[in-house]
Structures are given as structure tokens and as C-alpha cells.
Amino acid sequence: MKVAIPALETSPPESQPSCAEPQRCAHVRVFPGAIAANWGVIARLAGPAQTGAAIKADAYGHGLSAAAMALARAGCRQFFVASLAEGVAARRALGAGPSIWVLNGLAGARPEALCAAALSPVLNSLDDIALWAGAGAWALHLDTGMNRLGLPMTDWAQAAQQAHGFMPVLVMSHLACADISGAPMNAAQHARFREGAALFPQALRSLVGSAGMALGPLYHQDLVRPGLALYGHWGSDQALPALTPAMAVSAPILQIRAVQEGDSVGYGASYRCIKPALLATIGIGYADGFLRSMSNRGYGALDGVICPIRGRVSMDLTILDVTAAGPRARCGTMVEILGPHLSAAELALLSETIPYEVMTSFGAAAASAGGRIIA
């Protein structure tokens, strides 16, 4: 089921924070129903493998609690977070029942701290395996070539011997090139993972997240761990079922002015007008997660009209050329920054980054400033 995202309002509703209130002007709206619907799409593609959910980094900026509850209602029972603190927040939202896996492992925490919140660590070293020593359910991360977290191949056999009697429930790894379908490293990591997982025959196996779904059932194993796809983007250029973006960002026009040919715009006078234009200053900037790299290359959408950024994105203000919008450009009107006309993938391309950074930047800034709205 695809969940439609409502059109952006042309003026801020009374229930949303306004610029007269302490919150920042920019609004980040999150749609938990879209997250749940996306999980359903992924689960159908993954079957018969189980489908979990990565809700680390505050659910990729979408709000951990709201996302976790929506996913649980959709049927998700396996959740992945990065840290103990995220795990505690997830358990508070989910209550008893679902499994919550802490990807960073113990990370200096005592086993009792995880047990108190019914959390299960993903262990990454022989030392952590020894420290956990049967305290409860756990997972083992095998490093198959990414050289980030995980147990190196030289330690796999020793880990199997050391864990005799309290074997992991789950064995996982992480693909370095999942978004590149023809990358030889995918097959190499898959082969190494099969070799390592064979040492733990009773454990569930998990190898891929969102982009890896496009690699096919051979890679799906027993459990897939989507993250980005839950929030509306596969992270792969392969043909996959449509997803629904779960975040929209808008900002109000604060001031409008007419400029003439040759006038400069913004800090550093990095843009000079080549003809008379109508400029609008909107209430969003890099403090709101709108990346400064969008300067002179990004745009907003006003009633569907594309309005290019002129000059540099500053801390909480950005200037758009709204000439093409004509009378629709007026103070108080909300401008779409992320939504039906501007996807996270497009913003990522324009700012030379990835959709993950776009969403987590908007989400983190909104969460700290009170500008995130759960729709």
C-alpha cells in the first residue's frame, strides 16, 4: 500500500510552530504511515526472509519513537539501533516483545546495562564475547571485508570455540558495495560470509540492508535490515518497487525584494543578478540542516514552481529567486525544500552527498529546535 504525502500548506497551520514562537521557522514533517507502508513493500520483496528495521540515528532523522511504533504496528519484530541510549529509547517506545539489536555492541557498557533494558548486543570482538558470556541473546558481526566494525576473519574459528554453549542467535555482516550491483566485492563478501556463518549453524543470517535488496534472494539470507528504504529511498539504481518518502521540509518567506541587474546577493557577494528579479528570503539555513553546499545550486518549490537559490545558504536564512512564481510569492507563504517536487536523492545530488545525510541533517536540527511535526 502506497501512502500519499499531503500537499504542503501555503501558510503555516495553527497547530504548527510559527516564527513568533521559540522554535525555528523551518518545519520538518514526518509521516509514520509512510514508514509502515514502506516496511510492507520491503517485507513482500524479502520474503521468505524476515524483515527488520534500522532505526538508528533517531530513525534517520524521522523520530525514533514514532517510527518504531509505526513499524511494530506493521508487524516488524527485529529492530537495529547503534547505541545503548538508542536501545533504551526504542525499548521504551516498543515495550516488551520485539528484539532490539545494538549494532555498536557493548561499546564500554556493562552487560547488566543492556540486560536491564532487554537489549541484545551485536558483538564485534573476542573480548566482548568473553565479557558477555551467556548474559542473554546476542549477535555476532563478521567483518567480511569492510574493515569497520566486526570480527576479523582470523578470529572466526576462535570465536566459535569461545562461544561454545552460548552461541549467537544472529550472525551478520555488512556489504561495502551493496549499491553497485556488479561490484565483484559483493560476491566476495557473500562467499566469506557463508564460510563464517557455517561456524554458527543454528544462528539466523543477515547480510543486507536497503541497497542490498536489489542483489536478490541469495543475499537476503534469513533476515534483511532495511534502513534508508523504510524512509522512502532504496539507495540503489536498480528497478525496485516504489516507496513513499516519509519526510517533508518547508520554510516560510520572511521578506521579498526586487533587485536590479548587477546587484549582489548574500555573503561574499557570490551571486550577481544578470537581470532584474524578485528575491525571497526564507527561514531556513544550515542550522536547520539545509546544507551550505546547496549555495547557488539548489532550489525550493513554491506551489510547484522551481525557485533557484541565489547566493550562499547562511545559518538560518536562504535567498531564492521567486520571479517565476509571480504573485504566489508573498510573506508567510511556505516554500517546499523537501517533498513532492524535491526528493532527498535530488538534494543529495545537488549538494554532493547522499540521502542519508540530507535526512539526518534535517531531522537532527528539527528535533533539537522543536520543529519536527509528526503527521
Question: Can you identify the CATH homologous superfamily of domain 32-231?
Answer: Alanine racemase (3.20.20.10)
Query: pLDDT tier at 306 (50, 70, 90 boundaries)?
Result: very high
Catalytic residue among 2, 56, 231, 275: 56
Query: What is the per-residue pLDDT for 171?
Result: 98
**CA 282 – CA 264 distance, rounded (Å):** 17
Mean pLDDT within 303-315: 97
pLDDT at 229 over 90: yes
Q: Given CA atoms 218, 223, 225, 231 in this order, what sign does their dihedral have? A: positive
**Under 8 Å between Cβ of 140 and 149:** no
The number of beta carbons lying within 10 Å of the beta carbon of residue 112 is 8
Q: Is the CATH code 2.40.37.10 the one for domain 245-374?
A: yes
Q: pLDDT by residue (tens digit) across 94-110?
A: 999 999 999 999 999 99
pLDDT at 5 over 50: no
- Orientation angle between helical segments 64-74 and 32-46, nearest 10 degrees: 50
Domains of the chain by residue range: 32-231, 245-374
**CA 245 – CA 75 distance, rounded (Å):** 20
Query: pLDDT tier at 14 (50, 70, 90 boundaries)?
Result: very low
56 is catalytic: yes
Query: What is the per-residue pLDDT for 18?
Result: 34
Query: What is the per-residue pLDDT for 311?
Result: 97
Query: What is the per-residue pLDDT for 308?
Result: 98
Query: pLDDT tier at 23 (50, 70, 90 boundaries)?
Result: low
Mean pLDDT within 49-68: 97
pLDDT at 68 over 90: yes
Query: What is the per-residue pLDDT for 92?
Result: 97
Mean pLDDT within 64-79: 98
pLDDT top residue among 25 and 74: 74
Q: pLDDT by residue (tens digit) across 171-185?
A: 999 999 999 888 999
Question: Residue 13 half-sphere exposure, CB side, CA atoms within 13 Å?
Answer: 9
pLDDT at 1 over 70: no
pTM listed for this prediction: 0.91
**CA 258 – CA 323 distance, rounded (Å):** 9
Mean pLDDT within 245-270: 97
Q: C-alpha grid cell for residue 372? A: 519536527
Q: What are phi and psi of 248, to 5 degrees?
A: -135, 145
Kindly state the DSSP code that residue 142 receives in the 8-state scheme: B
271 is catalytic: no
Query: What is the per-residue pLDDT for 25?
Result: 85
Q: What percent of the chain has pLDDT over 90?
A: 88
The mean pLDDT value of the chain amounts to 92
**CA 145 – CA 22 distance, rounded (Å):** 48
pLDDT at 10 over 80: no
